[in-house]
Structure 1
Amino acid sequence: MFSSSRTIAFLACLATAGSVGVAYAGEQAPGTCAYAGYLGHNSPTKLLGYAADGTLTTIGQSDKTYNAMGHNRLDGKIYAMSSTGDAVYKIDPATGAVAETVKVKPGAGGTLPVAPYYQGDISPDGKHWYVRAYNAFQVINVDPGSPEYLTYEKALTAPVPDIYDISFHPVDGKIYIASGSKVVRLDPANGAVSPVGNLPWSGTWGGQFFDPAGNLYLSGNAGWLAKADLTRVEGGLAQLGAVVKIGQGAATANNDGAPCIPAPVVVPPNPYQPPNPYVPDPYATPN
């Protein structure tokens, strides 16, 4: 039978188990995002939160200029390239501050070209960062658990003109690009490009990102804020639905977007285990 002290300990464990979580982005609650995504504006770069209704909120001002942002679900940081392309900034999405400056090491792809990088995003699994220079995507390992972390993996050539930013779809895993008045799809495995549909307006869409549902948010360098519905997936590929303008921000020459990756929910295992009948139970009440 259970003693009263043993019962109290057991109930306390149950009460605790459902209340513990890990949130990477400051005060962001586990399983949620404070914003639909993030924008980096101006030089030096200011980090903004982009809400689903088009409201922009200043998170923090950096003393660095950066671009080609991607939000890594594996460590909760926003990765961005320096303006000269010779350094990587790991940014705290809660404050906008540069938490760490690192370098990309030579890897399977050789040495990463040093160049301005303006377009980028991190794959949905958090392992590969695609940044663009010299008309090709340069792929960097950003899996903190890999021995190849922060090494240059390969170059991927893709025939897409007028790229201002890119974003990985959270469901089908493909890269989507709003270019002028068109949306195209790019296969990150081989660089193959296919048309998706047309936008009602043409723009220089410097900031692009998906929310977890598959809505593509756009920020034009002239200040337009829009949302394109790509939540419907058919045949394993996202399809373009309605496109609406949702706001107007300030014009900016330096404009980049990154998704808000929901912080993971972590529930610890119940520390109480039923007693093994073959091992003396220290909680047992003597008969």
Structure 2
Amino acid sequence: MLNIACGTSMTEYRQILKRWEMKKILGWIFACTLVSAYFFVSISGNLTTERNRVAISLSDTNLGSSSLSIAVIGDIHLPEGPAPLLKLQNLMRDIKATQPDLVVFVGDYTASPRAIVDMSSHRENIINAMKLIDPLPRAVVLGNYESWSDPERWLYEFNRLDVDVMENQTRLVRTANGPVCIRGLGDKFTNRYKYVDYPAECQGLPQLTITHDPAGAFDKHMTGLVLAGHTHCGQVSLPLVGPLWVPSEAPSLAHCGFYQDKQRSVFVTSGVGTSILPVRFGAQSQWDELNIRWN
């Protein structure tokens, strides 16, 4: 509030008014600086990949007491070049050092195909980096960015480099905690999804489904645990507003983290990388360590 005493001359009034206007300008500059610093620190922090530990308890009358630790990695969106590749390699080594029972990759390994000059070499580099978690058991599915960069070639290269990849298939995977039945389903977002049931040999064993777009988890036939990615938890999620855009037909409550209803349990990872813009706000870059117990 501006107070001016009686008898103040016009010249003094103008000087007081000028000082008042300058204080307001400096105040706005200070406020904008604080807001900018907040966003800069938040965005920088959100782009730093962290380990996210989650405990999940599930009830299954067909299964005795069982537990499993699963590392979930999704939406890497790796750009081309030695520096991003080294960062991915180090991430794989860090995850391996935690010694999970199982590592699952839920798709979107490459950055935009239009930004990749040599996709053949880039594809091979990504797959070889994923192999650094050997000899830990793993399960792999493709995402929409692989669908947009020749999915058949991705499938061929995974197999050529001796990395098993699933698309609407099931596998019996042996872990340190015993065998697990894994169902790998195609990406719903790019129409490569097809529901398949578990085979008879999976009865009485821990079962889980991996897919890219969590919309696949809401197939009317789907039951049990589903692990997915794709959403980046919105990538930009504003306070009070939430995510600006999530490209999935999954219910909004199943866009990030753990969701459960009477038919299914779904975990959606925030993922590691970014797409469209190299920015994350309110959506941490992370890989997830799920400690799952079936009772």
* Length-normalised TM-score, structure 1: 0.28
Q: Which has the higher helix share?
A: 2
Q: Which has the higher contact order (CA 8 A, sep 6+)?
A: 2
Please identify the structure whose Cα radius of gyration is greater.
2
Q: Which has the higher strand share?
A: 1
